[in-house]
Amino acid sequence: MSTRRSRGSTRISDDQIIELVSKLRQLVPEIRNRRSDKVSASKVLQETCNYIRSLHREVSDLSERLSQLLTTIDADSAEAGIIRSLLNQ
């Protein structure tokens, strides 16, 4: 397998790329659960993009809910609640 190197690059080899792609493959749950031998790099990239986007959406959603929760906590007037949370832990 001849590896073409780009001129002036820091010797990025194909093997390195393959290793990185396989590491990425392990992280994305979509791909991890399938047969891992026949997944192309394009598929890995696509699934990675989708996964990161879904994670971003989850974080945004969670932060929205957290902000609402924090504002409603302000409205509550329960010292007992605070003490209870302390005791529950």
Partner 1 sequence: MSHPPFLSAFNLTAGREQGHITHPRAYLELNIIEMASSSMIPNTELTRDSKRRRKKKSQLRQQEDQSRPKWKSQAQQQIYSSKLRQALARLNMGSPPRPGKAVREAADRVLAVTAKGRTRWSRAILTNRLKLKFIKHKRQRPPTRSKKPRLSVYRLKGKGSPAVQRKVKFLGRLVPGCRKEPLPVILEEAIDYIPALEMQVRAMSALFNLLSSSSSSSSSSSSSSAAASTSTPPSS
Q: Which residues bind partner 1 (CB under 8 A)?
A: 1-9, 12, 14, 16-17, 20-21, 23-24, 27-28, 41-42, 45-46, 48-49, 51-53, 55-56, 58-60, 62-74, 76-78, 80-82, 84-86, 88-89
Distance CA 33, CA 80 (A): 46
CB of 44 to partner 1, least distance (A): 9
Per-residue DSSP letter, 9: S
CB of 22 to partner 1, least distance (A): 10
Query: For residues 34 and 61, which CB has a smaller minimum distance to partner 1 in the complex?
Result: 61
Helix, coil or strand: residue 54: helix
What DSSP string describes 16-51? HHHHHHHHHHHH-HHHHTS-GGG--HHHHHHHHHHH
CB of 34 to partner 1, least distance (A): 17
